[in-house]
Amino acid sequence: MEASKDISRLIEIMAALRNPETGCPWDIVQTFETIKPYTIEEAYEVSDAIERNDMDDLCDELGDLLLQVVFHARMAEEAGEFSFGDVVEAITRKMIRRHPHVFARSEADTPDAVKKQWDDIKQAEKRERAERRAARGISEDFKAGFLGSVQRSFPALTEALKLQERAAKVGFDWSAPEPILDKIEEEIGELREALASGDHGKVSDELGDLIFAVVNIGRHVKADPEQSLRGTNTKFRRRFKHIETSLEAEGETLEAATLERMEDLWQAAKAIERQLG
């Protein structure tokens, strides 16, 4: 099999990879849930390539993201739900429907008029989708209630922040940062207990509670948790790079270095940062 610019070749490759008898052992056992993290990761890598203005990487990353769409569509087809062709048909139908000023007669000839028309069409589509979901017995409960306006599609840190902001509007909130620190200590204790129990489910649950509490204190001190974590990620990269380059300068490798040696170099990197202010 050779590479091709025709999308059908990619669909054929995915079908071959998922073949229960002759396919790839890793691809065969994947599910929507196991593939979901890769889909999100590929979308972020597309964003990163755009931010770096790296067109070579962007072409490559868009291909990786397209593979995720084909992968999900293939699994859905195997389950008798829908195929890649159905995905393409659905989006083309949506784009045609939402642009009557381009594909049909419409008086929307200004940006404001187009936006209003778009919003009206989206509302109609939501009603139709709700009817289809109800017919299939799928609940829409997560969209109901006071917190229903917070999108579940947000990254988890952002969703936590917005849930807390929404709840605070009706007074469900801490009055100051200090009690949240006590809550964090409480959650750490519960995480320790979960770790001691060896119950992975409890560990995951308590870890989530701890992170949620940390997001809460970030909100109270007006430090966006996403940006705060990005700053820490950058700092970690910088300090770890110091470890790596220091070891290389001494003819050593990361793999051969002891934890104690790397910790010494980490502390040295911190000292350099303090000196530089």
* 13, two tokens: 């490759």
DSSP state of 153: T
Of residues 234, 245, 235, 230, the one with CA closest to residue 273: 235
* 67, two tokens: 């593979």
Which range, of 55-59, 133-137, 208-212, 245-249, averages the lowest pLDDT? 133-137
Q: Give the per-residue pLDDT at 60.
A: 96
Chain mean position to CA 246? 34
Domain ranges of the chain: 7-135, 174-223, 227-276
Proportion of the chain above pLDDT 70, given as a percent: 97
Q: Does domain 7-135 have CATH number 1.10.287.1080?
A: yes
* 131, two tokens: 């009817």
> Are 195 and 203 within 8 A, CB to CB?
yes
Q: Give the per-residue pLDDT at 141.
A: 60
Close Cβ partners of 184 (under 8 Å, ≥ 6 residues apart):
210, 213, 214, 217
Q: Give the per-residue pLDDT at 128.
A: 81
Three-state SS for 215? helix
Say how far apart CA 255 and CA 251 lie, in whole Å. 12
> Are 151 and 159 within 8 A, CB to CB?
yes
The angle subtended at Cα 134 by Cα 98 and Cα 140, nearest 5°, is: 80
Q: Give the per-residue pLDDT at 118.
A: 80
98-148 confidence digits (pLDDT tens): 888 888 777 777 888 878 888 888 888 878 877 877 787 766 565 668 888
> Are 218 and 224 within 8 A, CB to CB?
yes
Chain mean position to CA 247? 34
Q: Give the per-residue pLDDT at 236.
A: 95
Say how far apart CA 49 and CA 46 lie, in whole Å. 5
Of residues 226, 212, 228, 216, the one with CA closest to residue 168: 216
**Whole-prediction pTM:** 0.62
> What's the Cα-to-Cα distance from 228 to each of 187, 214, 240, rounded to whole Å?
21, 11, 18
240-276 confidence digits (pLDDT tens): 999 999 999 999 999 999 999 999 999 999 999 998 8
> Are 108 and 114 within 8 A, CB to CB?
yes
Rg (CA), the chain: 25
Of residues 191, 185, 212, 213, the one with CA closest to residue 203: 191
DSSP state of 76: H
